[in-house]
Structure formats: C-alpha cells, structure tokens
A and B are shown apart, each in its own frame.
Chain A
Amino acid sequence: MSEKSHLAALSFLAKLTATKKLTIWLILLFTTLALGILQWQSGAKIQTDILAMLPKVSENPLTQRAIAQVEQQLANRFYIGVVSADQNTAVSAATMLMQQLKSTSSAVFTDISSADISQAEALNAFYFPYRFNLLTDKQQQQLTQQQWQQLTQASLQQLYSAFSYANSALISHDPLLLYPDNLLALAPKQALSIDNGVLITRLPSSDAEAAPGFVAIVMATGLQSAFSPDAQQSQLAALELAKKTVTSNFPEVDFLHAGALFHAAAATDNAKKEVSSIGLISLIGVIALVWFAFRSVIPLMIAMVTLSCSLLFAVVLTLVVFGELHLLTLVFGTSLIGIAIDYCFHFYCERLNNPQYDANHTSLAILPAISLALLTSIIAYGSLGLAPFPGMQQVAIFCAAGLLGAYLTLVFAYPALASAKLNSGQRQLELADQYQGFMLKRAVPSSRFSAGLLLLGCMVFIGIGLSQLSSDDDIRQLQHTPPAIQQQEDTLRTVLSGGTDNQFLLIKGQSEEDVKQELEQIEPILELAEQQQLLGNHFSLSRFLPSEKTQATNYQLQQQIYQQHLGEIFELLGIEDSIKQPLADEFTAAKARYIKADNFLRSAAGQQLSSMWLMPQQDSDLDSDLDSGYASIVLLGGIKQLDKLSALFQDNPNVDLVDKVGEISKLMGLYRQLTLGLLVIALLAAVCIFTLRFGIRLASIMVSVPALAAILTLSTLGIMLAPLTLFHALALILVFGIGIDYCLFFAEADQKTRGVMMAVLMSAISTLLAFGLLAFSQTPAISAFGLTLLIGISFTFLLSPFIQIFTRKTPQC
C-alpha cells in the first residue's frame, strides 16, 4: 500500500460520519447474512470426511477411477461381531440382529448378511455350465500326464463313501468329480465355520481379559456415505435400536464393531466436542479478559459483535467459495477468535490511552496500523491458500474472511457503536507500562559480556534444537481413533483373517484377455510374497476370470475325459449308459464358450466383485489415451514391507502399486517444505511493505522479531522431539501473521506505547487461551498446530516489546 492511496482512503473515511459508516456496515452485514442463508438453503453442508481436506493426488484417470471404486466398495461396509460364551446364543443373537437390521431400517442399510449361502449358490450356478473350462493346478497336471485312470479311481472311491459329496446329480454331469475343487478354489481361506447360516468362530485366545467365547459375524453396508453426518446419525441410531432389541433377548451378548462408520462417528464426535469445549473455554477466557481490562459491559458487547461478525464473514465466504465447511476448518477456525479480537483490543486500549478522542477519531488513528496488519495477515493466509490443498485453502479463506469481517466492523461500526465513554483504565495501562519497562530495563543485557552470553545461549539452543528436528508426513496423524474402537476392529480383523490395506495393485491391459493373463502371471508372484511374509493376503479376480488361453487349454485337456475315454470311465464307475451321449454332447456344445468378465460381473455371483474390474469408459474422448484400457484391481492385506512389494512390480509396466495414502503423505511432505519456503517469502514481502512506511532499518528489525520467534519455535519443537509436520509449518505462518501485527502496533505507536503494550498483552493472553487449548486436542494434527502457536506466540510476545528500543532511535518518516 503506498502512502498516497493510503492517505486518500484515510481522508475518505474521515469525511464520513459515524452514522453513515454504521449504515454501510449494516448493509454489508445483512448482505452477508442473506448470502449465508441462501448458501445454506442451496445445500451447503458440514463436511466430515477427512480425505476431503487432503490434496488431490494427480493420478491418471484410470487410477482415479480405480481408487474411487475401491473406496465406494469398502468405505460404507461395516462389521458387527456378536460375542457370547455360548455358540448357540451367539448364532441366535446374530440372526436376530440381522432380522432387526433388515426390518427396522431398510432405508438405511443394504446387503445385510452373515454366511452368504445364496452367494455360494449363485457362484455354483454361474460356473457349473463352464466346468469344462475349469481345472485346478493339480488337475491340470494330472490330465497333462494323461492320468485319467487315476482320476477315475479317485472318483470311484468318493462314490463309495456315504459321507462324500458325490451323488447322482453330480456324477451324471461331472463323472470324475473335478468341478467341486474348482468351486472350492474360489473360496478364500478362512477360519470361520457356518452355523445355521451364520458365520461363527472362536474369539482369539490372546484376549487375556475376555472369557473364551464365540463371535458371530454380521455384515452390512450403509446406503449413504458414513462420512455424511446425517447418514452417520441414522445408521448409528438404527444399529443401536437393533442391538437394544438383541440385548433385551440375549442380555449376555456383547458386540464388536469394525468399519469406517465407527471411525467417522468417533471423529465427528471428537471434533464436535472439541469445537464446543475449546471454543467455549476460549470464549469465556476472552470475556473474562475484556471484563478485567475495561470493567464495562460495552467493550464486552463490542467484542461479541466483532467476533460474531467475524465468524459470519468467515462461514459465509467459505461456503461461497467451497460450498461446504469442513469440520476441521471449524476447529482451526475457533482460534480465529484469538486474532479477530486483537483489533477490538487495540481499539479499546488506544481509547483508554487517549480518552480525550471520540470513537471515530480513535478508529481513524489506529487505521494505518490495523490496515497494515490486515494486509500482512491476508498475505500470510493467502500463502496458505496457494497450496493446492483444499483443507488449508478453506482455513485460509475462513481466517482471512473472518479478519476482514472484524476489520470492517472496526472501521465502520465502531465509530457509532463504541462511542460510549470508558471507565478510567489507568491502572491497567500502568500495569502494561510497568511490564514493558521491566522487559526493556531488566531483560536487555546490560553489558557486552552478558549480551554475548545471551547470544551464545541462544545460538546453542537453536543449534541443538534445529539439529534434533525431524519430520513425519504420514497423513494417518490427521485421524485420531479412540483405542477402544481400534481394539475392536483389530479383534474382528484377526477373526476374519486379516484385512485389506489402502494400497492395491492395478493391473492394466489393452484388452480383457491382456488383463486376465497378467492377473494369472502375477498370481504366483503374490503367493510367493505371502510365503516370504511381505504380504498377509491378497484378493484377485484371477480365479474367477481365467484367461481364454487357460480356459481353452483346460477344455482341450478334458477332451481326454469326454471325447477319448468316456466309455471306459462310465464302465469303470458303473454309470448308466443313457447318460453318456447327452454328456458328450454337452461337452461339444461348450466348446469356445468362455467365461467373460462382462457376463460374470453382471451375474448375481459376480456383482459383489464388479468394483474390482474396470472397463473402458464410454465417453472417453477426453484423456482418451489414458483411460481407454481395461484394468483389474488386486486387493492387498497385511502388507509388511511395502517397498519390497512395490519393487516386485517395478519393471512391469502393466502393474501399478496404487498407494494413495503414501502419495498423499509424500505430498504433505512437499507442502511442509513449500510452506516453510512461503514463510521466508512472506517475511521478505513484509520487509518490502514495511520499508515503504518505516524505512529499511526498522522494517528489518520489525520482521526479525517474528523470524526469530519462528526459529526459536522450531528449535523448541526439536528439543521436545516433536517431528515436524505440515501442521507445524502452517502454524508458523500464523505465528508470523500475529507477530507482525504486534510489531506493527508497536512501531506505529512510536513512543506512546502504553496502549499498545496493553493491547498486545491482552491479545497474547487471548491467543494463548485459544491456541494453547488446541494443543490439548485429541487429533494429533490440531494438537501440533496448537502447540506450535503456543510456543510461537509466547516467543513473539516476549520479543515484541523490544521494538521500542529501535523506534526510539529511529526518526519518523
């Protein structure tokens, strides 16, 4: 801002009367309010999905579709373990739970199931006609070695056993009983048994506290996203109701939960609690502070008006820009109270210091300082918003808009609203003055020796601190899961033999056959990886969708049975001859009738798996070369060594290891560095802006205060062994923004700093109240943010009064 235009704005504002200003403010206020109501009615919402805050990883369209499909498939599914000491009770309770979920809440859940017998039947119905194309590895080997006689012998032995699955129906279609093993191969290995249609197993015995018992598994899928607060509420309510009915009939059963729903609910709960508790305590603290300082109701009212207006601007502008408000933004945003109130403090301290002026005059007097403060703050927040990181953009817009709201209130509403006379505040001003005097006299080293010692101490502190500083960019720290929920999930995970990780393999190809063959080729690699403990489990469509090449080979091998030796086989097994010709005909008719992905995934059997297959998109005129092929997803679970696993497929251009969490974490690291870089740029920009008004010497001294505070904060974090994250870096930007304000107020006030000192003192206390409390948040990211601000603001507060030493010696410009 140049001196000239600044003066022009000042004179324009000076001409306006207090009433006119108030009118302008009211118009602004109501426009914003109307805009906010409009936004709310057009479907603005509070977002709780943590991932919505994260940067978009720039993947190619195919990978993006794969990620979306995997998320859609898995995110809304949840699992309930019904625990009881008695197996029958567990089974009956689980059956009742399923009935309850189905009957009371058909609009909330879908796919409520336990042991899915109908799914097994559907698979059987689908694959039976294709049995001539199917062989297990062992069967393939036996037929390659022409061992049809051994297979016949084995079949005969099965026929003799009264307890085997061989029966007339099966023999007449599959005399060598090859098909059952193929169907079995589709079933994943699991240690669960089925009792009356309910999956049941023993609870893992490692649970020392719990009595040994049984756990029956019930699964369901929420119809809407678990991250939508409304859906979350209705799903949880329906679930609670169903569980209540079950416990009233089976009082001794216990429940285990697993699924995104419970994580999301805990996160929502936590954030809500923190917004209300931290927000409330911070608000009460600020009110107490204002009361203590001004002993009057009016400043308190004005402070409330400022904060409300600030929040209104913040919420509405964020909604206008983003269409939604993230819950984490609100949590960060509660700290806005701490900054917006600064303007109010500054105004009142100035009035206290110069009681002879009216409110209009005071607001004009502090306008330059406040304007510069707003400008630098917006620059600081703007640099936050530069990062392509939706969450931080929201925080930036939210805080910048909030400050603008507070600023406009000060400029336009204060002259009319805050014109009431103040009680004398000499005592408080004296107190602030004494503090500053003490700092300037006692804390400034009196001799060269002690100055050197202080410098050396600082250097050592900074040296040790910075050398200890490490970083951690894992995005999982964004999410805090209460141990109780994690424990239940871990137990269920053990029971259901592992889980699926966020990482998955994407197998790509130009045709369906390419993908199928590639799937078959990587299968042994993955099996080996499981043996080598790199991986816990994997799930691939390979068995469900054998390549046409394999199917053709299998058909050819079975010609031995159905075309060359059928008579002999029938003779050996003693099967009625009338069945022979129809069976041979059936075999001939099945030639070149292959299992196709399309058919399978549309069948009742394959629907569940359709999210693991990607067809080329119909409207692929955009990005056509990137999104035109076929692909299949291989889910991975229990990954132990991700780098070794990814190395297995590094040289294969058709296989990608998609690791969204890893990618985002990497991006977080990048933004952490970027943010620290932006901080340096913001510091330099501030020097340039301040040079115009204060000259280069004072400007660099003013900027050196927040710069030194930032370095000291980083050192303290290093000594505390807190690994640096993006959130620490972001907090440093805020520390800079606030620190610059303090320095500006001091520099603008020149020598009459009593009012400023009091304002800064109050501002620091209120900011510490707000941010210091954030440090106690359960969510590590918010806690990191709060802790950094706590340390940073403390240093800034301690350092800022020394500006006066330099303003004394500097001639005003």
Chain B
Amino acid sequence: MMLTRYPFRCCQLISMCLIIIGNTLSFSAHSESNFEALFAHNASPSELTQLSKQLAPSAQAKGLFTQYRLLKVLKKPLVSQGSFVFSKQHGVIWQQLSPFETTLILQAGRLTQIDSQGQVQVSDAQQSASANQLSQLMPILLNALLSGDLPTLKQHFELSLQNTTSTNTQWQLGLTPIDPLVKKAMPRLVLMGEQHIQTLILFSDNQDRSRIEFTAINEAPLTELDLARFSPAIEDSARAAQ
C-alpha cells in the first residue's frame, strides 16, 4: 500500500458494450451468402481511386429512405420510411416518419433520440462507455457511408469491391469493420450505388439484416430549416452546459 491515494478504482475499466449482448446468444453462424463473392475480392487502390472519382463526396446531403428490417424472430419485415440529413459539420439526422415518428440525431459525442411521444433522450459520451462507443463512431461512419468518403471508410473498414467496369457504373462496396467491437455489432455491410449511394445493407451474425434504400438525394447546401432540425440536441447541450 502506498501512502498516497491509489491511482484508480480497481474495476474502473470493466468496459461494457451493448453491442456484444445479442451476439453471445446468436442462433447460428452467419449464413448470408449472397455477397460471398463480393467479400472475397479485396479492393485494390486503383479501383478505389476510380470509385472515389465516380462518387465525388459532398459535405452534406439530404434525402428520403425506405428501410426493411428483416429480423429472424419476427413474423414480417419491419418497413419504415423517413428522411435523413447529413452534414460533415453537424452530424446526422435520421427521422423515421412512418409507421410512427421517431428521430435519431447523431452528433460527435452525443446521441439524441426523440420517441413517438416526443420525449427527448440525450446520451452524452461522458455518461456511459457504451453509448459513447456507438455515438462517437456512428456519425463518422454514417457520414462516410452516405457521402461515400472512401478515405474515412478505409480507416474503419476493410473494403472489397465488385462490378466497377467502365461500361457498368453500378458498383458494390463490401465493408468489414476493423475494430473488433464494431465488427461484433455489424459484421458486414454492403453499400451499392451509381453516381450516388443507393442501398446500404447491414448484416448481423444472427441472420438479421437491414436494407436501406435511399432516394431523392440532394447535395445542395443545407437550408436554415434543415439546420434547425439539429436544434433539439443543441438545446439540450446548452442545458447540460448550464
């Protein structure tokens, strides 16, 4: 024992990650085989350069989405529709409009959720390690995914690529997370598109899968109105600061 204080509490660092929870009880091994060929083909630097030329990432975008959640234990797919806004500067707004209204605002270090009753819930990165983990990474990843920001994606994923020939502008990008924790939450992602990204598919280990289709993408600078939609979170952060 030292006479000064001990450095830290002994089990300070039991890091808890929500994303591991489901996976410890997965039913069966990953069986999605549609994209095996895609993931078998690692993207070469030249292919990526070509793709990035085609994509021309924008600093912001907004549009509509339709999402199909296929969960193995549910009788039917959960289909939802809504709009999204993303901005490199401000983060991501993911607003579901049907079958009920919910909003998710992802900003660096903060995750704001507004449920169907309009209740706002803010989880701060300082408050819990797990929320922190997701909410810090998700805005970056979504931003990069939505804008096709390949250098950022390359930092977090191993990339594989298919179908980028000069005649066919349709491409498929396979993403395997590098960070083991993120990999547990989302073992594989597939991004598809032409000029813009069109479809994002998220696979999980237990045969669940989410397919998101993007439409009406507009890369024009965000309007005042769009920016104002980030404000529930901003109000909350002001409140937290007080």
Contacts and interface: CB of A to CB of B under 8 A. Distances in A.
Given A190-B129, A194-B133, A196-B179, A165 B10 contact: no
Contacts of B32: none
A344 interface: no
B3 A476 contact: yes
Interface stretch (A7-15, A255-263, A457-465): A255-263
Contacts of B127: 189
Contacts of A217: 13
Given A193-B125, A193-B132, A496-B7, A169 B1 contact: no
Contact of B202 (A154, A162, A608): A162
Contact of B96 (A160, A498, A575, A611): A160
18 contacts: A116-B13, A116-B15, A160-B69, A160-B99, A162-B67, A162-B202, A165-B22, A187-B128, A189-B127, A193-B132, A260-B6, A489-B4, A492-B7, A493-B5, A500-B5, A500-B10, A574-B75, A635-B9
B204 interface: yes
A502 B128 contact: no
A165 B24 contact: no
B75 A123 contact: no
A496 B20 CA distance: 23
B35 interface: no
B74 interface: yes
Interface string A64-106: 0000001101110111000000001000000000000000000
Interface in A598-640: 608-609, 611-612, 635, 637
B13 A493 contact: no
B70 to A, nearest CB: 9
Interface string A113-153: 11111011101110010000000000000000000000001
B86 to A, nearest CB: 13
Interface in B21-79: 21-27, 67, 69, 71-76, 78
Interface stretch (B164-172, B205-213, B219-227, B233-241): B205-213
A115 B15 contact: yes
Nearest to A476: B3
A573 interface: yes
Contacts of A128: 24-25
A161 interface: yes
A579 interface: yes
Contact of A170 (B21, B185, B202): B21
B2 interface: yes
Contacts of B17: 117, 120, 194
Contacts of B1: 51, 70-71, 74-75, 260, 502, 660
Interface string A665-699: 00000000000000000000000000000000000
Nearest to B106: A163
A165 B7 CA distance: 34
B183 to A, nearest CB: 10
A113 B12 CA distance: 12
A539 B13 CA distance: 12
In which size bucket is the chain B interface?
Answer: 35 or more
Interface string B82-94: 0000000000001
A489 B126 CA distance: 21
Nearest first, the 8 A-B pairs at minimum CB distance are A187-B16, A162-B210, A71-B1, A168-B72, A258-B7, A170-B22, A167-B22, A500-B6
A117 B18 contact: no
Identify the interface centre among A172, A476, A492, A575: most chain B CB within 10 Å of its CB.
A172
Interface of B: 1-27, 67, 69, 71-76, 78, 80, 94, 96, 99-100, 102, 104, 115-116, 125-130, 132-134, 136, 138, 155, 178-181, 185, 202, 204, 206-208, 210, 212
B129 A187 contact: yes
A162 B3 contact: no
A661 interface: yes
B14 A116 contact: yes
A192 B129 contact: yes
B10 A77 contact: yes
A500 B14 contact: no
Contacts of B210: 162
A74 B22 contact: no
Nearest to A125: B24
Interface stretch (A34-42, A176-184, A230-238): A176-184
A651 B6 CA distance: 28
Contacts of B19: 165
